[in-house]
Amino acid sequence: MDDLDIIVGADGEPRCWWCGDDPTYMAYHDVDWGTPIHDDRALFELLCLEGFQAGLSWITILRKRSAFQAAFEGFEPAVVARYGDRDVKRLLADAGIVRHGGKIEATIANARAVLELHDAGTTLDKVVWAAKAPGVRPVTRVDILPYTPAATALSKDLKRRGFRFVGPTTVYAFLQSAGVVDDHLEGCWRAH
């Protein structure tokens, strides 16, 4: 293991390298990243935020998370699914979020896709957690792939179900964030 793969914070805790010493990143690493989520609303929010992150840094999204939550009314799929042109214009004018028309429209489409899952008698939770595959704890950052066969398969399944901005790399980051995959490095205090 490279000494730079695990960093020790001022609090003495060893963490995965990517959170550095930024308090927002450290809190996300320590509380959220890799914690299993089974709530459809929370999974929907996270999937959409990962889509907004495409082409940007995750810290940008984390710093805007509360603005996203306010702008998208708590990411309640039933509410977001009803959004129309007026809402898209409102969101495009909101400087607190990432103002990208395609990503905003994808969020609305994804809300509708969640409701279609419910209408079909399933949940986003069931679809997402079906992608869980046995893994090996990564030792170094080199061991963490940008996507996996399971993420690629889930990406295809989500697209087939009407979800957008869900490519394999975005889906893999989502699986890591939602705790379906635990990629905390060996030696990180969160590894279990």
Which of these is catalytic: 25, 33, 45, 50? 50
**Is 73 considered catalytic here?**
no
Which of these is catalytic: 17, 58, 129, 189? 58
Q: Which residues pair with 6 in a beta bridge?
A: 16
**Is 13 considered catalytic here?**
no
**Is 33 considered catalytic here?**
no
Give the residue among 154, 178, 139 at the shortest CA–CA distance from 47.
178
| Rounded Cα gap, residues 113 and 181, in angstroms | 23
Return the H-helix or E-strand segment holding 14.
strand 14-16
Residue pair 121/137 in contact (Cβ under 8 Å)? The answer is no
What tokens appear for 161 in the block? Answer: 């179900």
Which of these is catalytic: 25, 28, 83, 172? 28
The angle at the Cα of 186, spanning 181 to 192, to the nearest 5 degrees, equals 55
Q: Give percent helix, percent strand, percent coil of the chain, each to the nearest 5.
A: 55, 5, 40
Active site residues: 28, 50, 58
